[in-house]
Amino acid sequence: MKLIIAIVQDEDASRLISTLMNEGHSVTKLATTGGFLRAGNTTLLLGGEDERVESALKVIEKVCKSRKQVATSPSPVAGASGVYAPYPIEVVVGGATVFVLNVEQFVKF
């Protein structure tokens, strides 16, 4: 058995959950925050048999889109004035960041 942890953008979460559930996957949604942008994102937990992993990954790849976001740099730099000011930077936030883990034990009470 495997546990898939998928970090996706909030904009894709609803459609992704519907599509995964329609294909018979069990899903838990967590409201999470990215460490770099400090913006909300969504983390999904999917537990399932090994042979279901490929089908889940295909859905995640199909539904989740990359987007550009402008963020304020976490480390302000000194400008000509010598004043430290945050500056905007553009980052591409991925379609999805996915971890696939082996599950040692699975119980339901």
34 vs 47, beta carbon nearer ligand 2BA: 34
Q: What kind and span of H or E run contains 59?
A: helix 53-63
Task: Report the residue number, 24 or 28, with the smaller CB distance to ligand 2BA.
Answer: 28
Closest separation in Å from C-beta 87 to ligand 2BA: 13
Whether the Cβ atoms of residue 45 and residue 3 lie closer than 8 Å to each other: yes
Q: Which is nearer to ligand 2BA, 58 or 67 (CB)?
A: 67
Sign of CA dihedral 29, 5, 17, 94: positive
Alpha-carbon distances of 90 from 69, 70, 84, rounded to whole Å = 6, 4, 19
Residues 33-52 touching ligand 2BA, rule: CB under 6 A, are 34-37, 39, 41
CA angle 18, 58, 7 (to 5 degrees): 65
Q: By rule CB under 6 A, what string of x and - marks binding of each residue 68-97 to ligand 2BA?
A: -----------------------xxxx--x
Give the residues lining the site for ligand 2BA (CB under 6 A): 7, 34-37, 39, 41, 91-94, 97
